[in-house]
Amino acid sequence: MPYVLEGKICKPNEITSIEEGDVIVVRPFTTLIDGVNQVAPPLSIISKTCKHEIRTPLWVDGVKVGNNVRVVEGDLEVWGELEIKSYEFLPGYTARELLGRSSFKVSSKELGIPIVTVDGKQLISTLNREILVTDKRELLLALAHSLNYFLSSKE
């Protein structure tokens, strides 16, 4: 649960890049953004590369981007909607709403424990303290990083 003194935030549909040290929001919060009280949804990112200013200090239910997410090339392309395997994984529902029915690169092989699937095929999974994702979209990378909040005891 990082403490943000002040910073910049991007909504999930504004994500252009993710860097180590950025904070990915996993539960909604309300704060003063650009001088107006707004709700930041799950998968918002607090980063110096964003354009919206946060000027009030606050605690955020979120996770700092680390280095335990690995992109594994998906070998199969499927069309469908994200299937979230845990009802507590709020960022997954935000991503599903934003992406709708789309084409995704997934793995035809079992790669650890599936967390997010499409048409029954793994898109995001966890294996030996590492999070594997098979599609390189920034929103899906943010989704994979947000899993650390739920899997790591230090968060």
pLDDT at 154: 60
pTM of the model: 0.92
Q: In whole angstroms, give the CA distance from residue 55 to residue 88.
A: 30
- Structure tokens of 2? 């990082």
Beta strands in the chain (DSSP E): 3-4, 7-10, 23-25, 29-33, 36-40, 45-46, 52-54, 58-59, 62-64, 69-71, 76-80, 82-84, 102-106, 113-118, 121-127, 130-133
End-to-end CA distance of the chain: 6
Q: Average the pLDDT over 62-77 and give the result.
A: 92
Q: Average the pLDDT over 133-139 and give the result.
A: 94
Could you state, in order of their start, the residue ranges of all structural domains in the chain?
A: 3-65, 69-153
- In a 3-state reduction of DSSP, which class is residue 143? helix
